[in-house]
Every structure is written in C-alpha cells, then in structure tokens.
Structure 1
Amino acid sequence: MVVRRFAALLSLVAALAATTARADTISLRADEWCPFNCAGTPAGYGVDVMVEIFAKAGHRVDYALAPWGRAQADCSTGRIAAVIGADPKENPDLVFPQEPIGRWDTTFVVRKGNAWRYDGPGSLPNVRLSGVIGYAYMDPVGAYVEANKGDRSRVDLIGSRHPLEQNLKKLLAGRIDATMDSRTVLDFKLGQMGLADQVEFAGSTRSDVVYIAFSPRHPKARDYARLLDDGIREMRASGRLRQILAGYGVQDWK
C-alpha cells in the first residue's frame, strides 16, 4: 500500500513538473490605449481576454506599459513576445491571428468652442496637431503626419506610456489646436479624466480592425496566434466576450 501511494505521489509530481515545464510566460507590451489596454486595474478588455485564454492553456501573460515605438521594435526583434494594438499595414513583420481585438479609427478633438473640423487632408494645415510617435493614423491623415512629422508647428508627436493623457492636457492648455486617437479610446479617456464637457469631437476617418500580434522571432508565435483565435471564438460563442466587454462599456466589433 505504501509503495503504491509513493508511486502515485511520484506520478503526480512528474505530471505537475511536466505541466510547469510546458507553461510559458508571454510578455505583452504597449502604451496605454484604454479600454483595449489600460494602466493599473482593470487592465483593459484586450488584456483581460488574452490573460483568460492563455491561463486556460496553462500560460501566464506578463503585461506592462511601454512607449509604443519601443514596444513595436522590441516585438520585431524578439525582446518581447507580443504587442496589443497592432495593425498589419504598420507592422507587416509581426505574426497576426485571424481574429482582431477591436476596431480603430482616427478621430479628432478640439477645445470646446473651436470651430475647426476635419474635412480631408486639406483641412489639416489649419491646425497645430498632436499625435504619438510610432502610431499609425488612418490615411490620408497618416500620410500627412508622415510628411510633416519634422515640423512641430504642424505635427507635434510625443512618446510616453500615457500619451493621450499628455496630449489632452496640451490641448486644454492651448499648446496645440487638435489631437487625435481612436474614438473608442478618446471616449474612455475623456470620461476617465472628466474632460468630456471641455472638448468637442471634430471629425473622423474610416475605421479598421486592430490586433494582438506576436514576435516573428518567437518560436511559438504561430501557436499563440492560433490559441488566441480559438479562444476569442469560444468566448464569443459562449457569451463570455460580451460579458468582458460590458465591463468597459464596449460592444463586440463583429
């Protein structure tokens, strides 16, 4: 009896050791882009989704904020495993799943009372515009930013862990005329900062999907992408995705 119990204990220890050996820690980075990924708790619905999916597979997600330009570079070179908020056109070298984690656009905000409105690229030289280093902006805005990023009187780009918060403060201080980000992110941040009554939305571009993407240097990148795809589909079918999104006031993008 003692021998059998000891053998069973050894089998259990071996099984636990094998599970531990298979468990991965996936480093996930981006600057604050709430509600996709946030600072502190809650971590953002995109992070919540990934953490839950990977935990079921026995893995741990190590999420932290980093300037977006650095996060992209580190993911490309393999220093980190994944980024959240990636666009295949902006980051063609990364490994993308089939399932996006939301939608994005380029939406403009101005101080309350400012009559300027976005009306195509010809309207952009009329304002001092702020943005974020390394961000993709929906064309034709992206092309304008790229052409004028060296002229801070037209486009003032910053890089930090909390870039939208800084740009909104610059806007209200009168240091810029307009700033831009995804409408979903602007809505969330303005509500969080209590600034919704101090700014006006000034137009938007078309929208597109956005992803969690993985490093091409990581040997399990394609496995992780498939795991994320399967997990999101399962969450959508079970209603769990809708439940997570509701906690952030966001609707399913499909």
Structure 2
Amino acid sequence: MTNVSHAETLSVCYDQWAPMTIFPSEGAPARGVVIDMLDQIYPPEGYELEYYEVPLERGLAMVAEGLCDMLPEYPFAMNSEKDFVYADEETFAYSTGFVIRQGDTWRYNGIQSIRDKRIATGPGWDYSSMSVDYQSYIDDPQNSNFVEVISGHDDVVDRIVRMIKEGRIDLYVDNELVLQHVLNRLNLSDDLEIVRPGLENKLIELPIFSKKIPAAKRQRLISIWNEGRLSLTDEQKKTIFSKYDVILEE
C-alpha cells in the first residue's frame, strides 16, 4: 500500500442510507457497505479518504461546488444535472419495495395505484431511473397534498417509517436492503411490512465526480473506481455485506 504520508486526499460527501452508507457514531464506527468498498479501492492507489457526512441535497451541492471530489452513490438518470460525471461501473443495481402497515392489502400496480395515498420522499431524491411516472407524480404540484418531503440530517428514513406506523403516511419506496435494515434496527417488523413489486426498474446507483476536478484527475479517479469495482470478488462482496447482516442478491 502506498505510504499514506504521501497520499493525495480524496474528499467524499455522503448521506445516511444504511446499510449502504452510514454516519459513524461513538461506539459504532462503521460507515456502510459502499464506503467499505471505497476503502478497499482507493488507498492502495495512493489516496487518503476524507469524509463529509451531509444530507444528500447538501452533498450534491458540495460536489457541484468542488468542495467534495465525489459522492459514492447517486441514481443514474440520462437527464441528470451537468455539475458532475458518472462513473461507468455501478455500485449495485437494487431491487425496490414499498413499506406499508401490517395488514394493509395495498400493492403497487402502476401510478394509478398510488393516487390518494400519502407517500413520502426526501429533498433531492430522484426516482426517474426507476419510474418516470412515479417521479412525475411527485413533481406535479397538483399532488402536493399527498407527497410529504421529509428533511433531516441522518434520520430521514427512520422518521418516514415511524410516520407510516403512526398512520401519518401510507407508503414509502426504497432499496429493499435499506428497508429491511431499518425495520430490523427499529424493531418495526411486527408493525410494518415490505411488499413487492416495487417500482418498474431496479435502482441503479453509481459514484459521481465533480466537474470542478481537472479532467485528467477526474478520469483517473473514475478509472480507479471502475477497475476496483470490477475486481471485487463475490467473496469480498459477501464479506462486506455480512458485516451489516444483509444479503444482496445480484
């Protein structure tokens, strides 16, 4: 491994999306599956990682401003903003599901099935890669009375699932691994359930890199990620996921 005293710093902004990305705390230093992957990929290439734990919307702004070099996971969208460049290799393609109250017979069957349902999302969250219709529904001002945008630093998903339990929201869609993790951690599996199908397409997430980085350096960072992600063996990925008590079915 390259001597870290001569390492170049790579600044990483990321939001709380456990178990994929986690804000560490006293007694719980783990940063999540994807951050563990970065730790395996970049230091051997001479980079020291510097982390900034911020809400997604702030992280995107910091990447756009060049205050962070990268954000490790962001949904792929053809019409995405021009302040960053996607890597070529995805982190993962996640299956999605909806959280509802136990005993609710509702199931997703296209956009018409969510009409008159109270749904939740977070600021800056983009579902267009999974369902253009779903994102259009959220963006339509006529539906604002049925769309709750929940903001916060590190507890947005926690707050959303509690609001579903309390009857203040009816449903919420996310990565199945995130949903299972939060229900287990909050002991809500007896009150809430995950139902499928989720949205029409899988959630494809990729690292994004700031356009404020000089082009040659940015391409090197992207190439390191691409090659490092491809080189991760199934056994290495299994080891990382088992650390967080979740199983990914790719």
Normalising by structure 1, we get a TM-score of 0.83
CA deviation vs aligned residue, 1:197-233 (integer Å, no higher than 9, x gap): 2112243112142112211111222211111111122
SS of residue paired to 2:50: strand
Q: Which structure is larger by alpha-carbon Rg, 1 or 2?
A: 1
Corresponding residue for 2:207?
Answer: 212
Alpha-carbon spacing, 1:111–1:231, altered in 2? closer, same or farther (3 Å): same
Pair 1:192 & 2:180 matched = no
- 1:3 paired residue number: none
| Shift, 1:36, TM fit | 1.3
What is the distance in 2 between the residues matched to 1:68 and 1:43?
Answer: 15
Q: Is the 8 A contact 1:84 1:213 kept in 2?
A: yes
Between the aligned partners of 2:58 and 2:17, the Cα distance in structure 1 is: 15
Q: Is the 8 A contact 1:32 1:38 kept in 2?
A: yes
Residues 72, 105 of structure 1: CA spacing in aligned structure 2 closer, same or farther, 3 A cutoff? Answer: farther
- Per-residue deviation at 1:110? 1.1
Is 2:149 the partner of 1:157? yes
Contact 2:137 2:143 survives alignment (8 Å): no
Q: 1:82 to 1:252 in 2, by over 3 A?
A: farther
Code of the aligned partner of 2:189: A
Give me the whole-angstrom Cα distance separating, in 2, the residues matched to 1:77 and 1:201: 37
* Whole-angstrom distance in 2 between the partners of 1:27 and 1:149: 40
SS at match of 1:213: strand
Q: Are 2:116 and 1:126 equivalent residues in the alignment? A: yes
Structure 1 unmatched runs, 5+? 1-14
The CA deviation at 1:33 is 0.9
Structure 2 residue aligned with 1:69: 57
CA 106–25 in structure 1, closer or farther in 2 if over 3 Å, else same: same
Residue type of the partner of 2:71? V
| 1:113 corresponds to | 103
Question: Percent identity, aligned pairs only?
Answer: 22
Which amino acid counterpart does residue 215 of structure 1 have in structure 2? S
Q: One-letter code of the match for 1:78?
A: G
Deviations 1:145-183 (A, max 9, x none): 1114872x2100122222101111111122111122211
User: Does 2:236 correspond to 1:243?
Assistant: no
> Bigger shift: 87-96 or 65-74?
87-96
Partner of 1:227: 224
Equivalent residue, structure 2, for 1:183? 176
Letter in 2 for 1:224: L
Give runs of ≥4 in structure 1 deviating > 6 Å.
none
Query: Aligned partners of 1:98 and 1:252: how far apart in 2?
Result: 21
| Partner of residue 36, structure 1 | 20
**Matched residues, number:** 234
TM score, norm. by length of structure 2:
0.84
